[in-house]
Amino acid sequence: MFRNQYDSDVTVWSPQGRLHQVDYAVEAMKQGSATVGIRSETHAVIVALKRAQNELCSHQKKIYEIDTHSGVSIAGLLSDGRILARYLQTECSSWRWDYKLPIPIKKLTESMQLKLQANTQYYGRRPFGVGLLVAGYDKDGAHIIQTEPSAEVVSMKASSIGARSQSARTYLERNVDKFENASADELIVHALLALRDTLPAEENLSAQNTSIGIVGKDRPFTILADTQVGLHLDAVATHPRSNAQQGHGQAPAAAPEPMQQ
Amino acid sequence: MSSIGTGYDLAASTFSPDGRIFQIEYAQKAVDNGGTMVALRGKNGVVIAVDKVITSKLYIDDANPRMFNCNDNVGMAIAGVYPDGFALKDYACGEAIKWLKEYREPMSVQKLATSVAEYIHIFTLGISRPFGASAFFSAWDKKKGGRLFLVEPSGLNYEYKAWAVGKHRQAAKAEIEKLKLDQLDVQDLVREAARIIIAIRDENKDKDVQIEMGWVGENTNGKHEVVPDDVLSAAEDWANAKLEEDDMEE
Amino acid sequence: MMHHDELQRTLNPTCTGTSVIAMQYKTGVVVMTDRVVSYGKTARYKNVSRQYKVNDNVLVAFGGDHADFQWLQNVIERQALFWKRFDQEIGPKALHGYLTSLLYARRCKMNPLWNTLIVAGIEEEEKNNKETSTPFIGVITQKGCAYQVKHVATGIGAMLLNQAVEDSWRKKGGDITRAEAEAVLKKALELTIYHDCTADNDFEIGSVDSEDGVNLGKEETIIGDWSIAETNCQYE
SS3 B159: strand
In Å, what is the CA distance from B119 to each residue of A12, A213, B81, B91? 19, 41, 17, 9
Q: Read out DSSP for B33-64?
A: TS--EEEEE-SSEEEEEEEEE---TTB-TT-S
Cα nearest neighbour of A175 on chain B: B58
Count interface pairs A-C at CB distance under 8 A: 32
- C81 close to B (CB below 8 A): yes
Q: What is the pLDDT of residue B112?
A: 98
Is residue C155 situated within a structural domain?
A: yes
For chain C, the domain total comes to: 1
- B84 close to A (CB below 8 A): yes
Looking at the DSSP bridge assignments, the partners of residue B146 are: B140
Subunits adjacent to chain C (3 or more Cβ pairs under 8 Å) = A, B
d(CA C181, CA C135): 13
Say yes or no for a CB contact (<8 Å) between B100 and C82: no
d(CA C149, CA C166): 11
Q: What is the pLDDT of residue A55?
A: 83
A74-129 per-position pLDDT tens digit: 999 999 999 999 999 999 999 999 999 999 999 999 999 999 999 999 887 899 99
Q: What is the pLDDT of residue A206?
A: 95
**Which positions ≥6 away from C55 have C-beta within 8 Å?**
C80, C89, C90, C214
Say yes or no for a CB contact (<8 Å) between A99 and C101: yes
Cα nearest neighbour of B93 on chain C: C85
The pLDDT confidence band at residue C1, using thresholds 50, 70 and 90, is: low
Name the minimum distance, in Å, from the CA of C127 to any CA of chain A. 5
Residue numbers of A between 25 and 84 with CB closer than 8 Å to C: none
Residues of A in contact with B4 (CB under 8 A): 15
> Can you give the CATH number for the domain in which C100 is found?
3.60.20.10
Q: What is the pLDDT of residue A2?
A: 63
Given a cut of 80, whether residue B155 has pLDDT beyond it is yes
Note the helical H segments in chain A. Answer: 20-31, 78-99, 105-118, 165-175, 184-196, 226-237
Is residue C63 situated within a structural domain?
A: yes
Angle of the A78-99 helix axis to the C92-108 helix axis, nearest 10:
80
- B64 close to A (CB below 8 A): yes
C87, C97, C125: residue with CB nearest A100:
C97
C93, C98, C126: residue with CB nearest A98:
C98
CA-wise closest residue to C28 among C84, C92, C73: C92
Residues of chain B above pLDDT 70, percent: 98
B208-240 per-position pLDDT tens digit: 899 999 999 999 999 999 999 999 999 999 999
The pLDDT confidence band at residue A250, using thresholds 50, 70 and 90, is: very low
In chain C, what is the straight-line distance between the N-terminal and C-terminal CA atoms, in Å?
A: 45
In Å, what is the CA distance from B156 to each residue of B30, B134, B135, C175? 16, 10, 11, 62
For residue B138, report the phi and psi dihedrals to the nearest 5 degrees. -135, 150
d(CA A42, CA A138): 10
Name the minimum distance, in Å, from the CA of C164 to any CA of chain B. 40
Name the minimum distance, in Å, from the CA of A219 to any CA of chain C. 15
Given a cut of 70, whether residue B16 has pLDDT beyond it is yes
For residue A165, report the phi and psi dihedrals to the nearest 5 degrees. -70, -15
Cα nearest neighbour of C123 on chain A: A139
Looking at the DSSP bridge assignments, the partners of residue A160 are: A36
- C123 close to A (CB below 8 A): no
Say yes or no for a CB contact (<8 Å) between A116 and B83: yes
The pLDDT confidence band at residue B3, using thresholds 50, 70 and 90, is: low
The range of the structural domain enclosing residue C180 comes to: 16-228
Q: What is the pLDDT of residue A252?
A: 42
Looking at the DSSP bridge assignments, the partners of residue C43 are: C38
A17, A150, A155: residue with CB nearest B32:
A17
Residues of chain B above pLDDT 90, percent: 83
Given a cut of 60, whether residue A54 has pLDDT beyond it is yes
Residue C85 CA, chain-centre distance (Å), reads 28
Instruction: Tabulate helix, strand, coil % of chain C (nearest 5).
Output: 35, 30, 35
Given a cut of 50, whether residue A239 has pLDDT beyond it is yes
Longest Cα–Cα distance of chain A, Å, equals 57
C86, C100, C124: residue with CB nearest A100:
C100
Subunits adjacent to chain B (3 or more Cβ pairs under 8 Å) = A, C
d(CA C118, CA C136): 10
**Domains of chain B by range and CATH?**
38-249 (3.60.20.10)
Fill in the amino acid letter for A167. S
ipTM of the complex: 0.91
Q: What is the pLDDT of residue B1?
A: 47
For chain B, the average pLDDT equals 94
**Which positions ≥6 away from B246 have C-beta within 8 Å?**
none
Is residue C235 situated within a structural domain?
A: no
d(CA B127, CA C166): 65
d(CA C217, CA C203): 9
C93-123 per-position pLDDT tens digit: 999 999 999 999 999 999 999 999 999 999 9
Is residue C32 situated within a structural domain?
A: yes
Is residue C76 situated within a structural domain?
A: yes
Is residue C176 situated within a structural domain?
A: yes
d(CA B238, CA B17): 52
B18-36 per-position pLDDT tens digit: 889 889 999 999 999 999 9
Number of residues assigned to chain C = 236
Asked if A88 contacts A70 with a C-beta cutoff of 8 angstroms, the reply is yes
Name the minimum distance, in Å, from the CA of A156 to any CA of chain C. 17
For chain A, the average pLDDT equals 90
Say yes or no for a CB contact (<8 Å) between A152 and B4: no
Is residue C206 situated within a structural domain?
A: yes
Is residue C93 situated within a structural domain?
A: yes
d(CA C58, CA C94): 10
Residues of C in contact with A137 (CB under 8 A): none
